[in-house]
């Protein structure tokens, strides 16, 4: 499974890298010579994408390595680190683009070339395809590294569309002498910067939460609880928690079994629970279960607790 996942991640990263290099060169050159700040800014964004793709290619192999003595929980968080790095790169790009656009309002402007419009439209169509392809791959294999690439493409989709609109407005302004429309390209650049900032914020926040071992979503956690409670020998779930480790999840649970169960019986029950959880949730790669003894008087306490909760 890891080999297939790693192979797909490399494929997505290489496709992203090659396409971004082509788009980067086209948008930077045409944006510069075609007098379009928004297309040029989009080209700078693609340059950041190239760097991000290279990082992903380097780190994916590390993230797919199995657990070892020094990293008993595996290397999955390497992908999370990649996602945070890409997010920070995009944040710097967003600030740069915004600065260049705002300072551009202090100088006279002229209409961009029609060629800049074509480049922006080609970029939009290309990124739309790349986003759908990457997002589908990330969703199927639960890869944070591929998801980072997909989110990057998502930012490019709207950014390229905004750049195209900005170029159109500026061309119309130049053709009809409507000087205020000439600044449409500058406004589009600011909008592009805002979109990139939003994506970077989302990526950094998610990576930060995972690195701090935020709990998984409540629905999945309740699903795991339901599986455990289907085993009639389980009298109570004392505690359960789960955390993301990059592209997989680790689960810790404490359950109560009748105190007269033997060690072997307890082992067999927890193994069956573990196997069932991992069978129903392929993203879960480890389930650690601690067994507590359950006594007859515990049943009376549980009944009293449930009665009080129902009264509330």
Q: What is the pLDDT of residues 192-203, one digit of tens each?
A: 788 778 878 887
What is the per-residue pLDDT for 256? 92
Looking at per-residue pLDDT, the higher value among 288 and 40 belongs to: 288
Chain segment 97-141, per-residue pLDDT in tens: 888 778 877 777 777 778 888 888 888 898 888 888 888 887 777
Cα angle vertex 154, ends 153, 155, to 5°? 90
pLDDT band at 152 (very low <50, low <70, confident <90, very high): confident
Highest mean pLDDT among 154-163, 190-199, 223-232: 223-232
pLDDT band at 1 (very low <50, low <70, confident <90, very high): very low
Cα angle vertex 209, ends 250, 58, to 5°? 75
pLDDT cut 70: percent of the chain above it: 80
Rounded to whole angstroms, how far apart are CA atoms 40 and 49?
Answer: 14
CATH tag, 218-311: 3.30.70.1350
Is the model's pTM score more than 0.85? no
| Positions of CATH 1.20.1510.10 in the chain | 2-211
Q: What is the mean pLDDT of the chain?
A: 79
| Positions of CATH 3.30.70.1350 in the chain | 218-311
What is the per-residue pLDDT for 215? 65
CB 147: neighbour CB atoms within 10 A? 21
Indicate the SS3 state at residue 259.
coil
Chain segment 76-89, per-residue pLDDT in tens: 666 677 777 778 88
pLDDT band at 266 (very low <50, low <70, confident <90, very high): very high
Task: Give the pLDDT mean for 254-277.
Answer: 92
What is the per-residue pLDDT for 302? 59
What is the per-residue pLDDT for 289? 92
- Which residue from 57, 58, 50, 86 is spatially nearest to 207, judged by alpha carbons? 86
- Which residue from 245, 229, 247 is spatially nearest to 237, judged by alpha carbons? 229
Question: In the predicted model, is pLDDT for residue 43 greater than 60?
Answer: yes
Architecture of domain 2-211: Up-down Bundle (1.20)
**Least trusted range by pLDDT, from 33-37, 230-234, 282-286:** 33-37
Please give the DSSP secondary-structure letter assigned to residue 66: P
């Amino acid at each position: 499974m890891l080999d297939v996942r790693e192979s797909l991640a490399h494929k997505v990263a290489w496709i992203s890298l090659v396409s971004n290099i082509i788009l980067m060169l086209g948008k930077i050159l045409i944006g510069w010579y075609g007098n379009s700040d928004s297309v040029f800014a989009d080209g700078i964004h693609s340059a950041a994408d190239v760097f991000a793709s290279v990082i992903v290619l380097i780190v994916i192999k590390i993230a797919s390595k199995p657990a070892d003595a020094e990293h008993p929980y595996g290397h999955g968080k390497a992908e999370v680190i990649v996602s945070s790095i890409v997010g920070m790169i995009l944040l710097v790009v967003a600030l740069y683009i915004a600065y260049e656009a705002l300072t551009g309002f202090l100088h006279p402007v002229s209409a961009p070339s029609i060629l800049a419009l074509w480049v922006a439209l080609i970029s939009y169509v290309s990124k739309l395809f790349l986003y759908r392809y990457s997002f589908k791959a990330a969703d199927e294999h639960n890869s944070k590294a591929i998801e980072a690439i997909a989110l990057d493409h998502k930012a490019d989709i709207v950014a390229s569309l905004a750049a195209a609109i900005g170029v159109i407005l500026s061309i119309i302004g130049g053709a009809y002498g409507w000087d205020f429309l000439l600044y449409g390209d500058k406004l589009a650049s600011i909008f592009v910067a805002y979109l990139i900032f939003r994506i970077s914020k989302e990526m950094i926040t998610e990576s930060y939460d995972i690195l701090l071992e935020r709990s998984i979503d409540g629905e999945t956690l309740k699903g795991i609880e339901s599986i455990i409670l289907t085993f009639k020998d389980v009298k109570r779930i004392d505690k359960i928690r789960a955390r993301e480790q990059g592209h997989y999840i680790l689960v810790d649970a404490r359950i109560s079994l009748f105190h007269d169960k033997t060690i072997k019986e307890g082992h067999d029950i927890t193994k069956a629970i573990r196997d069932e959880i991992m069978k129903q949730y392929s993203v879960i790669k480890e389930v650690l279960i601690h067994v507590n003894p359950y006594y007859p008087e515990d049943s009376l306490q549980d009944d009293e607790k449930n009665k009080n909760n129902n009264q509330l």
